[in-house]
Structure 1
């Protein structure tokens, strides 16, 4: 005969009763072990975090082009190889042109210093009238025109210090460029498993936030592609047109100037910082007709991004254009080039969260029967 717990007064743990002390200790131990492994995992991948983030951004931004090219060629591996090769060419070719131009200029300068043929013109007298720095600049310029070697020996400590800082900065830029090249290679390998990775990302987002989480994931993917088209795409167009115009008028180092224009346009400064001195140089050294024609061709490059960027960045998004542009500017100023993508993604998600909260709407999660269906690619 089985005793009735209600008669004997025995207490039995059930699902509705309070958890026992041992169960609490077990839960704490589980959380601690999971947190420890999560910390170790983050520590292991931290040195490669920037590379992985860039690879993911590139894979998401270029996946539509990869899919179309794969269907056109009938081979996804060949499409991945061609897109990776094109990205590497876009990065390596301008840097090679800059390095070659810099090496040739430095070699010519050192040759003139060695044979004593380097001559500095005499400074004009109106330089003395410049405020604050006029007298000192005129004196240093006069010394350089009289005895350039003496000026170099006088400025040797400052030049050595400035040179060491410049070499450190160049090394830092070189490391960043190398990490970006590695990101491009990693992105090339991600294309082949893009659908599987998109499915995993959607399942993870669904577990975290249901339908709303999947919506945020798709919003992030759309934002990345729009920023790639509206910011980087327009910057590439400006740099290409700049190189074309400067090459037509035989301006020195058109590749290096176009690369600087590309960087300035990507970080949202604009091409005016480089093209205005080029236009002034053209009016000083060229005849009236060529200088006017080159100015007419270069001036549209100043405003092309103001017209095309808002259209391409906000295309197909419910997020206002101002929020996207603020994210682009704020992200670039706060986190550098990678903030160009992270900024608008974060502000877009926050904007949608605020809209949902202000409207007081709730989102139903998908039923469990839909979990077996293959999700739509991000």
Structure 2
């Protein structure tokens, strides 16, 4: 490598680092735009010849925003509203009444010395006061950062919308550029793209789609029996359905027990039957059907993808994490089939 080539390589590397630093704050939105473009490209290919590529991209971008982005914003608002509602309902009188009830049980039923109960009550009150003080500090600090996060999310959504539009309009041109700069044979690049497409669709169908269906069906069951905060628990069920082994039973199971404890036997029996006859069957059959098509991901990999994706990319990492690991696995698979490191 001569000096000129080395300098040019260093220049490209430096500009690449600068480009990554510019993209990094909005990486999750860039990846989300790429995923949505991947999902909508087949539909764009059918719609574009009829109304034109740019009108088609505009229509599909608006559809994706309404169908994918708006629900995420609504779910985030529901979770925040539920937490604030819980804190608002936690009044001092309710806490005092609960402490008095526990005191009466300890003295009357268990026969403890009232002085010991007073000491225990004082200690619990001090701990609870410290907990409330720490919680208040946390809420205030989060409230101060809410404005910054709102601004960041607004810019991120703007980036997502514009990138999705241009991915749909110029996606073929972009893939052609990738083919041109990739130092691989065309057959290897084609195989790599095909493998990535297969595993991506498989993960979306066998994990994400099944989780969304299960969460919505579970939310319908909770709504029928009158469980409060149905929207919040629907979001929770979608999340736990993506995780391997863990499923929606983690929500509707305790809900059944709660209904029985509170005396709603009919609601508990209905939800139990609904969970066994509908939710469990949907989970077993849908997941089996889509997994049989070949997701190619071990449950442990999915678990790491979900947890690591949330940690790295936020709420969008819930969906992007497993897909990124699937794409990595596809790349390794194609490399192992097409490249032999022992070839001379």
Q: Output the TM-score relative to the length of structure 1.
A: 0.68
The CA distance in 2 between the partners of 1:153 and 1:73, in whole Å, is: 68
Residue 101 of structure 2: which of 109, 122, 130 is its match? 122
The CA distance in 2 between the partners of 1:188 and 1:201, in whole Å, is: 18
Q: Deviations over 1:231-279 (max 9, x none)?
A: 2211111111111111111111111111111122234442233222111
Q: Deviations over 1:302-341 (max 9, x none)?
A: 46334323532563xxxx5454545423323444333211
The CA distance in 1 between the partners of 2:142 and 2:240, in whole Å, is: 18
Residue 246, structure 1, aligned to residue 222, structure 2: yes
| Aligned position for 2:161 | 185
Q: Deviations over 1:35-66 (max 9, x none)?
A: 23223323333333332122212221333345
Residue 329, structure 1, aligned to residue 289, structure 2: no
Change (3 A) 1:31 1:83: closer
| Aligned position for 2:42 | 64
Residue 225, structure 1, aligned to residue 207, structure 2: no
Contact 2:222 2:230 in 1 (8 A): yes
Residue 298 of structure 1: which of 272, 275, 278 is its match? 275
| Aligned position for 2:334 | 352
| Aligned position for 1:281 | 258
Residue 213, structure 1, aligned to residue 189, structure 2: yes
The CA distance in 1 between the partners of 2:49 and 2:220, in whole Å, is: 32
Name which of structure 1's ranges 78-87 and 193-202 shifts more when overlaid on structure 2: 193-202
Contact 2:215 2:237 in 1 (8 A): yes
| Aligned position for 2:324 | 342
SS at match of 2:184: helix
Larger of the two Rg values belongs to structure = 1
Residue 26, structure 1, aligned to residue 7, structure 2: no
The CA distance in 2 between the partners of 1:66 and 1:166, in whole Å, is: 44
The CA distance in 1 between the partners of 2:254 and 2:21, in whole Å, is: 47
The CA distance in 1 between the partners of 2:332 and 2:271, in whole Å, is: 45
Name which of structure 1's ranges 349-358 and 257-266 shifts more when overlaid on structure 2: 349-358
Residue 272 of structure 1: which of 249, 268, 275 is its match? 249
Change (3 A) 1:56 1:272: same
The CA distance in 2 between the partners of 1:245 and 1:184, in whole Å, is: 34
How far apart are residue 356 of structure 1 and its match?
Answer: 4.4
| Aligned position for 2:61 | 80
Change (3 A) 1:36 1:101: closer
Q: Output the TM-score relative to the length of structure 2.
A: 0.74
Contact 1:239 1:258 in 2 (8 A): yes
Structure 1 residue ranges without an equivalent (≥5):
1-22, 130-137, 362-378
The CA distance in 2 between the partners of 1:210 and 1:32, in whole Å, is: 27
